[in-house]
Each structure stands twice: as C-alpha cells, then as structure tokens.
Amino acid sequence: MTVLRGLLALAASVFGPTTVMAQDWRPEYSMYGTIGIIEMPSALSAQDADLSSQISAFEDQTRVSITFQILPRLSGTFRYSIIPDYTGVDTGTLYDRSFDFQYQLRNESEWLPAVAVGLRDFMGTGVLTSEYVVGTKTIGTNLRATAGIGWGRMGSYNGFTNPLGAIASAMETRPSRSSIYGRGGVPAYDLYFRGDAAVFGGVEWQINPSLTFAAEYSSDAYDREVANGTFDHKSPLNFGLKYHPNENYELGIYALYGSEIGVTATSVLNPNRRPAVGGYDTAPMPVVVRPEDLRAARTWDRSVLSDETIQTALVEALGQDGIVIQGIELTDTSIRLRYENTQYRSEAQAVGRISRVLTYALPPSVETFIFEPTRLGVPTSTTTIKRSDLENLENQVGSAEAVYARADVSEATVGDDADLVPTQTSSFKWGIMPYGELTLFDSRNPATVEVGIEAAMRYEIRPNIVVAGSVRKSFYDNRIDNPSISASTIEPVRRYAPYYADQGDGGIDYLTFAWYGRPASELFSRVTFGYLEPMFGGISTELLWRPVDSDLAFGVELNYTAQRDFDQGLGFQDYNVITGHLSAYWAMQNDFHLQVDAGRYLAGDWGATVSVDREFQNGWRIGAYATFTDVPFEDFGEGSFDKGIRLTIPMDWATGMPSTQLVDTRLSSLTRDGGARLDVDGRLYDAIRSGDISDFGDSWGRFWR
C-alpha cells in the first residue's frame, strides 16, 4: 500500500497545475519502441510522421520495434520479440510479432496533462498484451511525471479489482488468452480493458539537452517468465539513462526489476527531414528571353535552321538531363514533345528543365510548348505553357505558382500520333548484376537471406511494347536448409515457395511480353503474358479509368494463370485458375491514399484487400494493408489473415541527387495461400499516377529547380 499511496501522490502531482512547460524537450522512447519512460508508456507523442526503429535487449528478451507517428495524435508500432524458453527452460525460442496503437486524447496544456489511451499487442498471440490509460505532465523546465492504469500484463503487479466493473461486472474477469487468440492475428475485442488493473508511473529528469535520467514503477509482474524460471522479478522499480545527441538517435541503459541490465538503440527518420540539406541537382540554365521585335514572328527560315537540326539538338541536349524524347511535332508557332522522364521524380521539375532548353533551341516564332510525359510508353497528360509566360515570370516572387496558374493541364489526346516524328524506335538493355533478398521477422527465423547473380534484359519494341525477363543463380540461401510444406485444406499456391527456391535455382524468374495502351480518353490498358512471376505464368489483362484531374480512379484486372514447375523452366503443373479484381483508388486531400481490391485470389478464394497509405509530397509512402477472404481463419493458419506494413523511400530524398528510383520495403505476416495475389509487373495505377502533374501541391513547387 505504501507504493500505491506513492503512485497516487505522483498522479496528483501529474494532474495538478503547473505554470511552466518544458521547451524543446522531445519525448523519448521506451524499451518497447514506443514513446515512454523505460518499460511503461507515457502520454506524449512523437513529432508528426516520425518513423523510429529500435532494438532493445536484456537477458530474457530482445525486441525489434518500428513505430510510426501516423497522425499528430495517433501512433502505430510493429514489434518482433525474441524470447528464449518462453514456455519453460530449454523449450526453445519464441519469435513473436505484435502490433500497438496509442491515441493521445488531449495535448498537454499549462494546467492539464497530456492523456493517452493505448493497446499493446492487440492482435498478436497475446504474449505482450496490455491496455492502458496514461497521463503525463511537465513540471518546470526539466522534469516530467507520468502516471497511469494498465490491464493485462500492465495489470499484473499489485493488481486490484477493475474499476470498470462498476459499469459492467463482466469487465472484472479477463478471459484466458488461449480462448481468445487461437492462431493469433485477430483483434481480441473481448479481452480489452478486462480483468485486474494496476497503477504504474515514473519520472524523467533532463540532466542536460543530451542526457535524461528516468525512474519508473512498473506494473508488469512478468508472471509467465517467472513461473517458467527464466526471469527473476525482484523489484517493480526500474532506473535508466538515455543519451540523445540529436533528434535522430537515442541510446539507453537501464537497471530492470532488480535483476537485469537492459540496453536500447533507437534511430528516427522523418520524411519531412531529409538527410541532405538542399539538393545536388545541376543548376538549370536560365530562360532565354526573346527580343521584343522577334516575339511577333510567325515563322522562321528553314533553309538556315531545319526541323531535323532542331530535333537532333533537342534529343541530344535533353538526353543529358535524363529526358528521352519519343516523338516531336514542330510547327511555326508550337512544339509538342512526347517524352519519358528518367531522372526527376517530380514531373513538374522535368517540365521546367525542358522548358529552359526549348527557349535556347527554338526559333523566336515558337510560342506554345506542349508537353506529353509518358509512363510505360503511354502519354499520361498534356501540359501547355506559353513561352512568354516563362520569359515574364522566371525572376518574380511566386513564379512557380504563377506558371501553374497559367498552364493548361488536360488529358493526353488519343489517336493523334500521326503528326509526331518518332525519335526512338527500339531499345535493348541487358545486364548481369548481383542481387540480394533479405526476409525479416519470420515466425521461425529473425532473418533469412538469399544472395546470387542475376542476368536481366529488356527490349522495347516500341516504348509501350516491351519484352523483359531475368534468370537468377543463387550463391547462398538459408531459407531452404530443410524445405517442408505444412498440411492445409487450401490450394498450395504460396506454401510451395521453399520448393521453388530449392529446385528452381538457375531457372527463369520471369519472361514476359507486355503491351500498354490508351484505348480512349481517361482509359489505360495493359496486356501481359508469359512467365509472369516465379510461381505462375499465363496472361494478365488490366483496364484503368483515371481522369487527369480526379482524386478517384477505378480499375479491373482479369488473369488466367497456371502454376509453374518447381524447376522454373518452361513447364507447368496441373493447377490453373482464373483470378481478377475490381479496384477503387482514392487520393484523399489529407495526404492519405485508400485502395480497395475485391475479387478472386490465386487459391480460388474470394475477398478483398484494403490498403491505406500516408503519402508525402517528397515521395515517401508509409502504409498498411489487410486481406480478408472466405478462407476461415483456422484454415489460413498462423496469423489468421494476410496483412502487413509497407514503406517507400525515394532515393532523391536520401541522396540529394535527382532520381526516379524508389526503395520499397514490406513487412508482412506469414505468406500463406489465403489472399495470395498474382505478382505481375507493370500494374497501371501507380505507374500512371507517378506521372501526375495536375496538382500544384504535389510537384509544381519544383518547377524552377
């Protein structure tokens, strides 16, 4: 009771008034990878869009956590825990995945604390499951106090009858974990905030801007670990030091529960804080201003400067800037360029660079510049800019906004290719290069790796008609030491991955013929056939409706596929299936993007995949997805349904050099047969959308870069 009285006194100080709040003291991370004291959470939030990765360890556990501040008040965490002998001494290691959410109900004010509610491990196997309500208040300039009440693991030390029992008596009893979770992966709604509760709390003292001392009273008794003899819980008190030299790194060392020493290392990225200050783009040339007496010219002397000379000069000059010209239409007063931008992530920046070159290369009579950027060899839009606007606005304040306001962005016209003079007929590229694939956070192995050599080729018969393929030879792969397939009632469309890895070494990874088109205004099409991916071949078709100025798009995909032989040669197995999806895409105005794909998957199951991503103007994307089909959770297996987290980082953000390259990473639950979709290259929506030039906020700020 002495400890309880102390915590209640601490809570009183937390919720009591104070007139001074700390300045520039950012929240710090707990050993669970979330904002907190040591093992207990606090009610504070990280900076909006902070993406932290942490490894923490003590003798009983190692945790790898990734936390994203989804919104200013909402954070989400994925955690991978390595727990030796969880069920008893010498019983093997448990590799456990868990997810957290915390929502800040209110910010800290001068008189009132910040208050947050959270769920820890709310849809995993329940090993770390807790729920809590917590408050945090800053006292003076260098002291923070936190107090809260927890359930589950956070209600296991010095617990008392659940105060929510006054609302409903059922809240006083917490169901057993096994009766709720089954195979894991399903939110255990009947478990939350039930059973005994306990108080926790602590203080953080900022010794100097780089060093913080923390002390806490933990309400986690480590019951299971103590019972199986792998943990010695001598005290509920934890102490530690946190060193944070800057906003990107944090190190911690802790004395835990009177028996353990723990350490943490945390790294923080934020899409809005790029590591490179400014960019390393080459300086663009200035706009060449025509003399006033030449602006009214209606033509030029082609015996002095021919169309062919201009075309050759433009292809060479723009090629040095990563702009591949695919067609040119040149008249006395206008030029229309169809091109592929291979260097600048922002299409508006590419338009700005091309515009400058045109003011050098074109006769004075050419007043109208018409740009047709392409993706997959297909024009995505038409942007028309007046040369005189460039001359008049280049050096004015707010000139990018002014050019955007005067530019005309519309649908690319269909069926007018006859007037274009082709400058690119075919292109063949090939290469031999090393490759590596790293798979993290498996249920049986924290990390698997495959490295080898890949020979790849790409032949563009026309910019929109492509033959591509690759062959891989593995040098090292620790995934297939003992390939085995678990029993299941579902068609084994993905469980055979170990067999493909074992027997398909040196086989055809993919070999496809793809034709991309624009059958009508606002419509895009794709037909791909061949060996579409390592496990399936056949034909895949797609049609996308996407107006250039719309936040909505809709697509339909239909595939006929057959399962490939394990050796990844030319043969097929007996299994074939028709799959397809109807897709809806919504680019919301708050930087979020929603995608829903509903239809039939490779195992013949029917259902839908829902994806939500937060997107940033600099190209970052962070999101999550979940797939639900008519496969029962019990038949799906561990994890219950397919779900995961995905992250896209643009290379120009990381290096400061202009690039269209992206680094894509996906952290998913176990890859199983339910909800498995064909992995075909060149799906339309993301490719077409990457050429968007209609919204000023997305890219036009880079027009003059």
Instruction: Give residue-wise pLDDT tens across range 185-194.
Output: 677 788 899 9
Helix axes 347-361, 307-319, angle to 10 degrees: 140
Rounded Cα distance between 463 and 595, Å, is: 28
Q: What is the pTM of this model?
A: 0.88
**Residue 346 is part of a domain; what is its CATH number?**
3.10.310
The total of other beta-carbon atoms located within 10 Å of residue 616's CB is 16
Together in a domain, 225 and 318: no
Residue 293: phi and psi, rounded to 5, are -75, -10
Give domain status of residue 660, yes or no. Answer: no
Strands 508-520 and 465-477: antiparallel
Give domain status of residue 130, yes or no. Answer: yes
> Quick one: pLDDT at residue 635?
72
Give domain status of residue 479, yes or no. Answer: no
> Quick one: pLDDT at residue 278?
64
> Quick one: pLDDT at residue 42?
97
> Quick one: pLDDT at residue 471?
95
The residue out of 269, 302, 317 marking a domain boundary is: 269
Mind listing the pLDDT tens digit for each residue in 277-332?
Answer: 666 778 888 999 998 877 778 888 888 899 999 999 999 999 999 999 999 999 99
Question: What mean pLDDT do residues 39-68 have?
Answer: 95
Tally of domains in the chain: 2
H/E element, 542: strand 536-545
Rounded Cα distance between 247 and 245, Å, is: 7
Together in a domain, 402 and 257: no
Q: What pairs with residue 135 in β-bridges?
A: 115, 147
**DSSP 8-state code for residue 397:** T
- Alpha helices in 479-584, H assignment, sequence order: 497-503
Model confidence at 19: pLDDT above 90: no
Tell me, rounded to whole angstroms, the distance of Cα 529 from its chain centroid.
29
Give domain status of residue 173, yes or no. Answer: yes
> Quick one: pLDDT at residue 227?
87
Together in a domain, 197 and 308: no
The residue out of 237, 269, 301 marking a domain boundary is: 269
Short-list 511, 513, 556, 514, CA closest to 536? 511
Give domain status of residue 570, yes or no. Answer: no
Which structural domain range is residue 187 located in?
A: 2-269
Mind listing the pLDDT tens digit for each residue in 320-369?
Answer: 999 999 999 999 999 999 999 999 988 999 999 999 999 999 999 999 99
Together in a domain, 41 and 177: yes
pLDDT band at 597 (very low <50, low <70, confident <90, very high): very high
Together in a domain, 26 and 146: yes
Give domain status of residue 328, yes or no. Answer: yes
Q: Which of 180-189, 283-292, 418-427, 435-444 has the lowest mean pLDDT?
A: 180-189
> Quick one: pLDDT at residue 697?
59
Structure tokens at 77: 């965490």
**Residue 71 is part of a domain; what is its CATH number?**
2.40.160.40
Together in a domain, 220 and 303: no
Together in a domain, 89 and 156: yes
Structure tokens at 185: 């992966």
Together in a domain, 257 and 401: no
Together in a domain, 235 and 364: no
Give domain status of residue 202, yes or no. Answer: yes
Rounded Cα distance between 99 and 153, Å, is: 15
Short-list 487, 499, 488, 506, CA closest to 535? 499
> Quick one: pLDDT at residue 1?
40
Together in a domain, 183 and 96: yes
Q: What pairs with residue 623 in β-bridges?
A: 613, 646
Mind listing the pLDDT tens digit for each residue in 104-149?
Answer: 999 999 999 999 999 999 886 778 999 999 999 999 989 999 999 9
Together in a domain, 174 and 313: no
Together in a domain, 375 and 255: no
Give domain status of residue 116, yes or no. Answer: yes
Structure tokens at 202: 């602590």
